[in-house]
Amino acid sequence: MRPFSQLLDALVYTRSRNGKLALIAAYLRAAPDPDRGWALAALTGNLDLKAVKSSAISEMIRARVDPVLYEMSRDYVGDLAETVALLWPPPPGEPPDLDDGTLTLATVVDRLHATSRAAAPDALAQMMDHLDASGRFALLKLATGGLRVGISARLAKTGFAQAFGLDVDDVEQVWHALSPPYTALFDWAEGRAARPDPAGTPFFRPFMLAHPLEADSVDLADYAAEWKWDGIRIQIVGTGSETRLYSRAGDDISASFPEIAAAFTGHAVLDGELLVRGEFQGGEAASFNALQQRLGRKLVSAKMQADYPAFVRLYDLLLEGDEDLRALPWAQRRARLEAYMPGLDAKRFDLSATIDAADFDALADIRAGARDAAIEGVMLKRRDSPYVAGRKAALWYKWKRDPLTADCVMMYAQRGHGKRSSFYSDYTFGCWTADGELHPVGKAYSGFTDEELKWLDRFVRQNTVARFGPVREVEKTLVLEVAFDSIHDSKRHKSGLAMRFPRIARIRRDKPAAEADTVEGLKKLVR
Amino acid sequence: MAHWIEPHPTGIYVRPADAWIDPSVPRDRALVTHGHADHARGGHGHVWATRETLAIMALRYGTASGTPVGYGEEIRLGGVTIRYVPAGHVLGSAQIVLTHAGERVVVTGDYKRRPDPTCLPFEPVPCDIFVTEATFGLPVFRHPDTGSEIDRLIAALHANPERSVLVGAYALGKAQRLICELRARGHHDPIYLHGAMERMCNLYVELGVELGDLRPATGVAAKDMRGAIIVAPPSALNDRWSRRLPDPITAMASGWMRVRQRARQKNVELPLILSDHADWDELTDTIREVAPTETWITHGREEALLHWCMTHQIRARALALVGRDDEEEEG
C-alpha cells in the first residue's frame, strides 16, 4: 500500500500539472500488476467498490476514540478520512505510524470487494492496523469512493500515456473497452499484447468542447448558431444490441436514465443535451432544477420517470453504423443528423434547431430576447469543422448570456473543504422580506479572489454572533453582490427561491445592509 | 488553591513577588520562560530569564536590564522561591517553578519531550498547579520520529540534484534544530540562509551550538545553490525572495504539517513534521507524570485537553491569554 499512499500524498502536494504527470507515470512504470491497474482505476474514478458509508467510518472511530475529541478533531481537520487516519490508535505494542507491508493495493481492493456492507467496518479496522497514517488515509478514501487528490480522469490517462510513450487520445479510444485492473492495457503498453480492440462495445468517444466567445463578433457565413441548452451534455452510444449513455466526463449514466437508453436501439453515436420536459417554451424543456431531481440516482422509480420525463435534444452525429463521420465538416454531419431523426422515438429525441439570423447583430438581438430558463446562451459552430476531442481554438464557441445579479446580505459562513479548510469560504446570504426579515436565498463559495477570501474570512471571524458546529452566524452588515445564471421556485428554502450557479461578484463594503435587495424583487426574475 | 498566583489576559501575575510571567505588555518585573516573541516582549523594567534567553532578547530588542538565572539555581522574590528548569523547547527555554506557602506551581512556557540537540531536555517537576501549553492539543497531532522526517528531506534533495530545497523554519529554534539534525544525519554540505536567519544562527554558535558550514544565500548565484538546502522564515517561502533560488522544492518544518490541507494552504510541496511543541501524547503523558492537583491550560487548542483532563478526573481550567496566536508560524 505504501507506494500508492505515497503517490496520493505527493499528488496532493504537487502543484504543477507536469509534476503530477511525472509522479503518475513513475508509479505506473514501477508498480506491479495488478496493483497499478487498481491504482489507475482509482485515479480515473473507475474503481467501483461497494462504497462504505461515512457513517460507518464515524462509528468505527467513535468506538476507539473519545467521541468529543473525535468531533473536535473533525472540526479542525475538515476531512473525515484524514481525521480518522490521523486519530487511529496504534495496535497495542506497535508504534503509531508503521506500514508493515503486509497489504498490497490489490489485497485491499479484493477485501473491499469481498466484504458486505455490514462487515465492512470490521474489515476496514483490521486493515487500518497494518498501515501508517498515509496508508490509512488512502484506504479510507478508496473505501468511501472518490480520492479527491485534484486530478481528473483525463490527467491520469495522460500520465499513463506518458509512462509508456503512447498517445492519450489513442488510450481514450481503447479505454472503454477495458475494465479494471486493466491488465490488457498494460500488456499492450509494454508490448506483450496487441492493442485492445474496442469494436463491438458501446464505448465512449471524447466530446468536442467549446471556448468562450471573446471576439466581438463572428461571420455567420462561417459559423452556424444554435441554442445552448441548460441540461447535461450526453453521448448516446448504440451498437444495435446495447445502448449506453455517457456524461461529459465519460461516466456511464445509463442507469440514471433507463427510458432514454431503452428508447434508442440504433447503431450510432450521437451528441446531445439531456433535458427534462417541462412547462417552458410551450411544454418543451424544463429548467436545470428539474433535471437535477434525476441526476446522480442509481435507481430511478417509475414515479420519478413520470414526474420528470427525460429527453435528448440532439446536436451532432458522430458515427452512423460503422461509418465514422467525425472527420466530415459540421454542415455535412448536420445534414446526416437531420436525415437520421425520423427513425427516432419523437417522445425521447428531438433536434436542436439552428438559429436563423441575418447577421451577427441580429443574432445578438435574438440572444438578448431569450430568457427561457432552459437556455444558457448561444453556441457558434464553424460550418466546416470536424468533430475533434477537447477544446480546439476557433472551431466551436459558447456565447453565454450575461448573468443576473442581486445585492444580498451575508448571514452565515461555513469553513470550506480541501485547500480552504481553515477559511470561512462558504457563505449563505439573504434578502429582505416585506416584514423586514432576512430570508436566505442562496449559498456561494466562489467568485472571489484569494485576497478577498482572506478579507471575508477575517470579516466572519470578527463579526461572529453565534456558532453552530462548523457554521458561524455573522452580524447582518455585509452586502455581497451575487451573480447567478437563473433563479427558480424552490420548496427547500424559506424564501421559496433557489439560484443556479450563484457566485460572489463583488463585496459591497460601501452599501448599507438595509439597501440590499428584497425577496419580492428576486421573485420577479423567476422564469 | 494558590491564591497567590493569578492568571490575567496579559500574563500570569505572581502577587507576593510582584512579578509577571511572560507578560504581553511592558511590566516592571518580568519572569520570562523563553525568547519567542509571544512570550518575551520588549520594554520590561527588569527581566529574570536564563542567560541564553536574555541574549536572545538583547538581540531582538536591544539591551534590556536582566538578571540571568541558571538552570536549577534558586532565587527568592518577595517570599517566593523561583527555579528555572529546562523545558526542551528552544535554546534557553525554561519552565518556571514557583514555591510559596507550601504550594508548588510550574509554568511550562512552551515545551516538548523529544530530544533536541540544541537544548537541554524537559525535566518533569511534580507540582500542585501545572500550567501547560496546548499548541498541539488535539489527538490528530502525533509527531513522527524526527530522524525519518530529516531522511525525507535528504532524499528529496538527492532525488533532485538540479533543484534546491527551500525549508521554511521559524528563525528562533526550529531553524537551528533542523540544521543540527541534518548534521547529525551526515549532511555536511553548506546550508544557505535567508538574511533573517543569520543573526540568530550566529548567536547560537556563540552560545556553543555547532551548526557547521552556513552561508548567506544573498549574493550567491542560483547555479551555485543547486542541490543545496536553503533555510528561510516561513513568510519568505512564497515570497519574491525565493525567485533567486534554483527551482526550489518548497518544504516546511512544522508540527502543523501533520494535516494535509494546512500544508496545501501554505503551498508546501514537502511537508516535514518537525515541531518544538509537545504533541498530544506528550501533553497527556506529561500531565500524568507530574500529577498536579490542578492543570491550567494556556494557549492552543485548550478545549480538547480540558476535555481529556475532565475525563481523567484531573481538575483543569483554560486561561485566556492574549497575544498567543493559535495560527502562529511557530510550531
Q: Helix/strand/coil (H, E, C) string of A148-175?
A: CCCCCHHHHHHHHHHHCCCCHHHHHHHH
A67 touching B (Cβ < 8 Å): no
Name the residue with higher pLDDT: B29 or B240: B29
Asked if residue B319 lies in contact with residue B7, where contact means CB atoms within 8 angstroms, the answer is yes
Chain B residue with Cα closest to A13? B269
Per-residue pLDDT, B64: 65
Buried residues in A9-34 as b, exposed as e (16+ CB within 10 A): bbbbbbeeeeebbbbbbbbbeebeeb
Q: What is the mean pLDDT of chain A?
A: 88
Chain A residue with Cα closest to B280? A87
Residues across chain B: 331
All residues of chain B having their beta carbon less than 8 Å from the beta carbon of residue A73 are 138-140, 304
Alpha-carbon distance A246 to A375, whole Å? 22
SS3 label, residue B91: coil
In the predicted structure, residue A416 carries a pLDDT above the cut 80: no
Count residue pairs from A and B with Cβ separation < 8 A. 72
- Show Cβ contacts of residue B5 under 8 Å, excluding neighbours closer than 6 positions: B12, B13, B14, B15, B98, B105, B129
- Show Cβ contacts of residue B286 under 8 Å, excluding neighbours closer than 6 positions: B111, B113, B122, B124, B132, B278
- Show Cβ contacts of residue B276 under 8 Å, excluding neighbours closer than 6 positions: B89, B90, B110, B112, B116, B170, B173, B174, B177, B255, B330, B331
CB within 8 Å: A83 and B263: no
Confidence category of residue B275, pLDDT binned at 50, 70, 90: very high
Average pLDDT over every residue of A119-139: 92
Is the bond into A34 cis (omega within 30 degrees of 0)? yes
Asked if residue A244 lies in contact with residue A254, where contact means CB atoms within 8 angstroms, the answer is yes
Which of B261, B307, B310 would you mutate first to test chain A, the one with the most A CBs within 10 A?
B261
Asked if residue B190 lies in contact with residue B228, where contact means CB atoms within 8 angstroms, the answer is yes
Asked if residue A300 lies in contact with residue A256, where contact means CB atoms within 8 angstroms, the answer is yes
Name the residue with higher pLDDT: A372 or A166: A166
In the predicted structure, residue A392 carries a pLDDT above the cut 50: yes
Asked if residue B181 lies in contact with residue B146, where contact means CB atoms within 8 angstroms, the answer is yes
All residues of chain B having their beta carbon less than 8 Å from the beta carbon of residue A96 are 142, 144
Taken in order A149, A153, A157, A162, is the CA torsion positive or negative? negative
Per-residue pLDDT, A98: 81
All residues of chain B having their beta carbon less than 8 Å from the beta carbon of residue A79 are 260-261
Average pLDDT over every residue of A6-35: 92
Per-residue pLDDT, A281: 42
Q: Of the candidates A69, A79, A82, which has its C-beta nearest B307's C-beta?
A: A69
Per-residue pLDDT, A292: 72
Per-residue pLDDT, A306: 84
Confidence category of residue A279, pLDDT binned at 50, 70, 90: low
**CA-closest candidate to residue A247, choices A176, A181, A146:** A176
Q: Cell numbers 534567553 correspond to what residue? A: B53
Per-residue pLDDT, B326: 41
Per-residue pLDDT, A146: 74
In the predicted structure, residue A169 carries a pLDDT above the cut 50: yes
All residues of chain A having their beta carbon less than 8 Å from the beta carbon of residue B142 are 86, 96-97
To the nearest whole percent, how much of chain A has pLDDT over 90?
Answer: 54
Q: B190-232 pLDDT, tens per residue?
A: 999 999 999 999 999 999 999 999 999 999 999 999 999 999 9
CA distance A190 to chain B (A): 26
**What ipTM goes with this model?**
0.93
Per-residue pLDDT, B323: 56
CB within 8 Å: A76 and B138: yes
CB within 8 Å: B307 and A76: no
- Alpha carbon A331 to its chain's center: 31
Bridge partners, A239 (sequence order): A267
Q: Report how many helices (DSSP H) and strands (DSSP E) chain A contains, helices first.
A: 20, 21
Alpha-carbon distance B290 to B316, whole Å? 14
All residues of chain A having their beta carbon less than 8 Å from the beta carbon of residue B140 are 73, 76-77, 83, 86-87
Confidence category of residue B327, pLDDT binned at 50, 70, 90: very low
Per-residue pLDDT, A177: 77
Alpha-carbon distance A516 to A480, whole Å? 9
CA distance B209 to chain A (A): 31
CB within 8 Å: B261 and A419: yes
Chain A residue with Cα closest to B259? A77
Confidence category of residue A417, pLDDT binned at 50, 70, 90: low
Asked if residue B100 lies in contact with residue B79, where contact means CB atoms within 8 angstroms, the answer is yes
SS3 label, residue A334: helix
Asked if residue A482 lies in contact with residue A446, where contact means CB atoms within 8 angstroms, the answer is no
Q: A363-377 pLDDT, tens per residue?
A: 988 888 776 667 778
Per-residue pLDDT, A282: 42
Per-residue pLDDT, A418: 56
All residues of chain A having their beta carbon less than 8 Å from the beta carbon of residue B163 are none
- Alpha carbon A67 to its chain's center: 33
CB within 8 Å: A13 and B259: no
Joined grid coordinates for residue A192: 506483450
Alpha-carbon distance A53 to A60, whole Å? 11
DSSP secondary structure letter of residue B16 = G
Chain B residue with Cα closest to A87? B140
Q: B82-128 pLDDT, tens per residue?
A: 999 999 999 999 999 999 999 999 999 999 999 999 999 999 999 99
Among B50-64, B66-80, B103-117, B199-213, the range scoring the smallest mean pLDDT is B50-64
Confidence category of residue B301, pLDDT binned at 50, 70, 90: confident
In the predicted structure, residue A83 carries a pLDDT above the cut 90: yes
All residues of chain A having their beta carbon less than 8 Å from the beta carbon of residue B258 are 86
Confidence category of residue A430, pLDDT binned at 50, 70, 90: very high
Alpha-carbon distance B43 to B60, whole Å? 11
Q: What is the mean pLDDT of chain B?
A: 92
CB within 8 Å: A69 and B142: no
Average pLDDT over every residue of A283-290: 66
Per-residue pLDDT, A324: 95
CA distance A220 to chain B (A): 46
CB within 8 Å: A79 and B269: no
Alpha-carbon distance B48 to B46, whole Å? 7
Average pLDDT over every residue of B291-297: 95
Q: Of the candidates A68, A86, A97, which has its C-beta nearest B140's C-beta?
A: A86
In the predicted structure, residue A211 carries a pLDDT above the cut 80: yes
In the predicted structure, residue A498 carries a pLDDT above the cut 70: yes
CB within 8 Å: B138 and A13: no
CB within 8 Å: A73 and B304: yes
CB within 8 Å: B301 and A87: no
Per-residue pLDDT, A144: 86
CB within 8 Å: A76 and B139: no
Asked if residue B330 lies in contact with residue B169, where contact means CB atoms within 8 angstroms, the answer is no
CB within 8 Å: A421 and B261: yes
In the predicted structure, residue A150 carries a pLDDT above the cut 70: yes
Chain B residue with Cα closest to A20? B269
Average pLDDT over every residue of A116-143: 91
Q: Cell numbers 505494542 correspond to what residue? A: A93
Which of B136, B138, B140 would you mutate first to test chain A, the one with the most A CBs within 10 A?
B140
Buried residues in B204-218 as b, exposed as e (16+ CB within 10 A): beeeebebeebbebe
B238 touching A (Cβ < 8 Å): no
Q: A243-264 pLDDT, tens per residue?
A: 999 888 777 788 889 999 999 9
Per-residue pLDDT, A371: 61
CA distance B238 to chain A (A): 13
Among A154-163, B274-283, B322-331, the range scoring the smallest mean pLDDT is B322-331
Average pLDDT over every residue of B252-265: 90
CB within 8 Å: B261 and A97: no
In the predicted structure, residue B330 carries a pLDDT above the cut 60: no
CA distance A420 to chain B (A): 7
Alpha-carbon distance A251 to B262, whole Å? 32
Q: B119-177 pLDDT, tens per residue?
A: 999 999 999 999 999 999 999 999 999 999 999 999 999 988 999 999 999 999 999 99
